[in-house]
Structure 1
Amino acid sequence: MRKTHLLGYAGFSGIFIFAISILLLHGRQPEISIRYDAMSYYVYGQLGWLLWAGLLGLGLGSLALAAGLWRIQKGAYARVGILCAGIWGTGLLIAAIFPTDPKGSWDQPPSTRGMIHFSAAIFAFIAITLAALFIAHAFIKDGHWKPVQKWIVPVTALTAISFILIMISIVSIFVSHGAPLYFGLTERLFFFMSLCWIGIASVGLLRSER
């Protein structure tokens, strides 16, 4: 089995680890609102270590995916997108190492670790959106992605739209002077679309064996 194939499975593994971690955390911490609260708050409740594990798994899986894409995609735009995918993975690892500030502290100055977490998350959100946009053309033209090509445009578009929604939610801090409006909902939507994009890219890596 070639290395590229293994990197494709690593991408799928990252999706699985993160998704299972969040589902388990939601079951154990129902007080964290899906509509209003960031997933990062899970770290302070029961089985909070699962958030660290989920971010670590998705971050490493994303870096493996970026390494695999680098091996088979040669275009300039694709390479820029792959670098952005690597930034996304790195941002997730940093966010895992530096937890966010506890829930209810939006009206207080952030701690150093809270600011690092927030900054890493913002850079990661921007990076995965740019990765999807830059690599979309290569995915459409490359036969490796034929089984999922019909999903490339809608998934890329929805990833961009979900990014806009989460940015609007974050900007609302300056209007409401409190927690971002519907941040929990927009963040979960954005992660769902990002996971869909990672899944599509992983399919291409697995098909690169053929």
Structure 2
Amino acid sequence: MATENAGKGLRSTSVALATTALACFIYAAVALLTLHFLRPDYAPASNFISNYAVGRYGWVMTTWFLAMSCGLLALAAGLHTSGLRSITGRLGIFLLLVASVGLVVSAVFPTDIAGAPSTRSGAIHDQSFLVNVGSIFMASILLSVSFATHPAWRSFRGIAWILTVLILTGFVIQFLTLHKGMPYGLANRFFVLVLLAWLFGVTLRLRSLPPV
């Protein structure tokens, strides 16, 4: 009975954490979409989404970073309570935590707009961008591997790998377009789109996870 009650408690905790993460990611998606209407002067093809943090309505983009950070933190905690205990699972969860911290750094240190003087804040933001992208990309791979070893997650591994391949595609496209004259802004938005798809997919699965 005690073991059963403990299991129900962990399940309730996982659902609560997944719900929190889902709320954060929904806010992030709505905020980012809204910024495209609030700042039509930022051409999507030639501006990273980070540029929205500079100038009018910059606070909206700042809250986007913070919402993503909180969402990753809640998701990492939820995945841990769901029973992912393999080495790959633990490493994937750890990398989500790394990205969560990195997103706070991105929020605190705004980027430099193209053509503006380089600043220490912009340099730190660029470094955090690389950490965030790399951490989440590696986390998606490691967690997809770990899903195959956990009974409650095994049926989700196919979807997880499809979403991970999309993140890989976005990752490659993003770095191939990091040149002047290339549509790096669109590539950036594609990467964020597939990243959100992965986050929503994993979070929704966590909320509906069957008991083992």
- Pick from 156, 162, 169: which aligns with 1:154? 162
- Give me the whole-angstrom Cα distance separating, in 1, the residues matched to 2:102 and 2:176: 20
What is the aligned partner in structure 1 of residue 86 from structure 2?
75
- Give me the whole-angstrom Cα distance separating, in 1, the residues matched to 2:76 and 2:19: 12
What is the aligned partner in structure 2 of residue 204 from structure 1?
205
What is the aligned partner in structure 1 of residue 72 from structure 2?
62
* 1:163 Cα deviation after fit: 0.7
Decide which structure has the larger Cα Rg and report it: 2
What is the aligned partner in structure 2 of residue 195 from structure 1?
196
Matched ranges for 1:1-210 at <5 A: 2-71=12-81, 72-105=83-116, 108=117, 110-145=118-153, 148-170=156-178, 172=179, 179=180, 181-208=182-209, 210=211
- Give me the whole-angstrom Cα distance separating, in 2, the residues matched to 1:203 and 1:142: 17
Does the aligned pair in 2 maintain the 1:69–1:205 contact within 8 Å?
A: yes
SS at match of 1:121: helix
What is the aligned partner in structure 1 of residue 4 from structure 2?
none
TM-score scaled by length of structure 1: 0.87
CA 1:180/1:94 → structure 2, altered by over 3 Å: closer, same or farther?
farther
- Give me the whole-angstrom Cα distance separating, in 2, the residues matched to 1:8 and 1:180: 40
The sequence identity of aligned pairs, in percent, is 24
Root-mean-square deviation (Å):
1.9
Q: How many residues align?
A: 200
Does the aligned pair in 1 maintain the 2:144–2:157 contact within 8 Å?
A: no
TM-score scaled by length of structure 2: 0.86
Paired letter, 1:195: L
Structure 2: gaps (5+ residues): 1-8
- Give me the whole-angstrom Cα distance separating, in 2, the residues matched to 1:120 and 1:180: 24
Structure 1: gaps (5+ residues): 173-178
Does the aligned pair in 1 maintain the 2:24–2:70 contact within 8 Å?
A: yes
